[in-house]
Amino acid sequence: MEASRATSTRRSVLVLAVLLALCAALTAAMILTLTRPRPAGRALPTTRVQIGNQPFTLEIADNPGEREIGLMHRDHLDADHGMLFVFPDSRTREFWNHEVAFPLDLIFLDGDGMVVSIKGMQAYSDLAVSSDVPAQYAVELNAGSAQRLGLSVGARLSLPADLIKPAR
């Protein structure tokens, strides 16, 4: 009986050690993914969008990997550039400005391109910024852009038709 209990204890300890090793490996992989810059020469697709009275070139982040990296590992963002985050559904979103060297305006849009929330994010901030309401798209621009362009909740951006995706 004692030998059986000892074998069972050793087996449990071994299983626990394997689970801890797996957790450590997964954590390391997540850290590498979040801190790895986009490969050189691998540009995201772009689109032109009129925001207020100014045309912007927006990089399109439409898959989980690109949405995670966003604008990380860059030292600036041109005044007429930004990033458009495309999600498959409409729900409350949270963003952070991890490893982004400049402050941003974050403009949340519903599935029709209507502004539902506008927030600001400080450089290198790991604080979560919430849309507070469901959003299917988000646009990141240099801080102060939303105010300069006169954007407010209820304004509508004309997103390119090929990017409009019915919410699931």
- For the stretch 46-66, pLDDT in tens is 999 999 999 999 999 999 999
Query: Which residue's structure tokens are 């394997």?
Result: 18
Q: What is the pLDDT of residue 163?
A: 77
**Does residue 32 carry a pLDDT above 60?**
no
**Does residue 30 carry a pLDDT above 60?**
no
Q: What is the pLDDT of residue 41?
A: 47
- Whole-number average pLDDT of the chain: 84
Q: What is the pLDDT of residue 161?
A: 83
The CA distance from 86 to 95, in Å, is 13
**pTM for this predicted structure:** 0.75
**Does residue 152 carry a pLDDT above 80?**
yes
Mean pLDDT computed over 90-115: 96
Q: What is the pLDDT of residue 10?
A: 73
Residues in contact with 66: Cβ distance below 8 Å, sequence separation at least 6, in sequence order: 44
For 30, other C-beta atoms within 10 Å of its C-beta total 11
**Does residue 137 carry a pLDDT above 50?**
yes
- The answer to whether the beta carbons of residues 128 and 96 sit under 8 Å apart is yes
**Does residue 154 carry a pLDDT above 70?**
yes
For 163, other C-beta atoms within 10 Å of its C-beta total 16
Range ranked top by mean pLDDT from 6-10, 23-27, 118-122? 118-122
The CA distance from 62 to 134, in Å, is 17
> Any idea which fold 46-163 has?
Jelly Rolls (2.60.120)
More confident residue, 80 or 1: 80
**Does residue 75 carry a pLDDT above 70?**
yes
pLDDT band at 27 (very low <50, low <70, confident <90, very high): very low
**Domain ranges for the chain:** 1-36, 46-163
